[in-house]
Homo-oligomer: A and B are copies of this chain.
């Protein structure tokens, strides 16, 4: 890649990391970004179609680590907050508030809450210091010829975004183009005119709205910041992730029907819905503020995208949301995107022929990203309801004991393999299926009564325990 011109489309975390990888291989890197530089204080903060709090886990961290720049990684990790598990907020049958802690990992591994903008800024600042990287903000891709290796960009006017103004257009030649321009990727759109791409996008029946939970009067966190807080409510849920400034970024997820009802209802109905299903929230976000935020902040859809291939010839590849947008329920969207960059460059480094490397990358990565997109969809069900079911907890309990006490068996939960390992997503699923088969076989082989009796006993015991509220953990003091 030495001396070659690499065009990266999109200056988000994934595009920025791709630029960093390309620059470290001696490429002349140009980054074209539709929006203004997010570090400009006078521009609107962040596009609201992207969640601004994210869970950074091993795959993302390893992808940053593989740049070899440990200072950069340290700077990023320094801006994260460790979350050791989920804190489930419930109301008991008697009306009392309950919190149940579910550790992410039986070995104590954790997720890291990070502000998307903060992470992005650290990467952009670092790229600014590199002599072979150049930014072109407010440049909108309007066309591309991936045979001739040319792309066209309109230089946007800061005050207008309509096409009728006919802003200036520039032609850019490149040797290699990396499209990291998000779910509505222009790179992908133009690539589809060259590659015979199978493409699938679906909007799930779920909208989301963001809220900010302010610090306490004393300036501290309203709740312990070492958890991802969840208020599961069956077909909808409310979650909260900690920010460095002692606030929480919260999100309401729910079916279109719920949003329509809340949008058309009174303020009192909104508040009473929160009090009924998300106990305690209005203690931390004052009701009037809650109503104002619900009305002010956009109510946005969730898209899931799969496509194949992710490349065309030796001239272009798409990564991140452009190639595989997923719903946010496994906390893997950005992690998968960053990992894609690592895998892409490892293929490019290994092969002498770029077209071959891209074909290999595409074959491997489409399989893996399709798997994680499906897992993310399935996790929506788990988060909003299953987390509270005794059966779910029993399965989690058995699997975690096997993980902890029989490591020589190579047993691990699917969650830990996704979040705390670099194992290919497709391999994670193969192992999970195989473990499930083994567990089932063991149960069947143990000829019924004995085992089943035990299981039934455990279940009954569990349910009773729950009724006795023995799972309502006291909040850790700060």
Contact = CB atoms under 8 A, between A and B. Distances in A.
A198 B193 contact: no
Interface string A158-182: 0000111010010100000000000
Contact of A166 (B162, B169, B184, B200): B169
Nearest to A256: B196
22 contacts: A142-B142, A142-B163, A143-B163, A150-B164, A152-B164, A163-B169, A164-B169, A164-B171, A166-B169, A189-B189, A196-B203, A196-B301, A196-B303, A197-B201, A198-B201, A198-B202, A198-B203, A199-B199, A199-B201, A199-B202, A200-B200, A200-B201
Nearest to A163: B143
Interface in A126-175: 142-143, 145, 150, 152, 162-164, 166, 169, 171
Contacts of A198: 201-203
A258 to B, nearest CB: 16
Contact of A203 (B166, B197, B303): B197
Interface in A386-420: none
B184 A193 contact: yes
Nearest to A162: B145
Interface centre among A143, A152, A164 (most CB of B within 10 A): A164
B199 A200 contact: yes
A30 to B, nearest CB: 17
Contacts of A143: 163
A203 B195 CA distance: 10
Contact of A152 (B150, B163, B196, B202): B163
Interface string A296-315: 00000101000000000000
Nearest to A193: B184
Interface string A181-210: 000100001000100111111110000000
A453 B189 CA distance: 58
A189 B169 CA distance: 21
9 smallest CB-CB distances across A and B, nearest first, come from A143-B163, A196-B203, A198-B202, A199-B201, A164-B171, A200-B200, A196-B301, A152-B163, A198-B203
Contacts of A196: 203, 301, 303
A312 to B, nearest CB: 13
A163 B143 CA distance: 7
Nearest to A199: B201
Given A164-B171, A189-B189, A198-B201, 5 more contacts: A184-B193, A196-B303, A198-B202, A199-B202, A200-B201
Contacts of A150: 164
Contacts of A184: 193
Contacts of A171: 164
Contacts of A301: 196
A317 B432 CA distance: 44
Contacts of A193: 184
A206 to B, nearest CB: 11
A142 B145 CA distance: 16
A198 B201 CA distance: 5
A408 to B, nearest CB: 44
A171 B145 CA distance: 25
Contacts of A201: 197-200
Contacts of A303: 196
A303 B197 CA distance: 9
Nearest to A151: B163
A199 B184 CA distance: 13
A166 B193 CA distance: 20
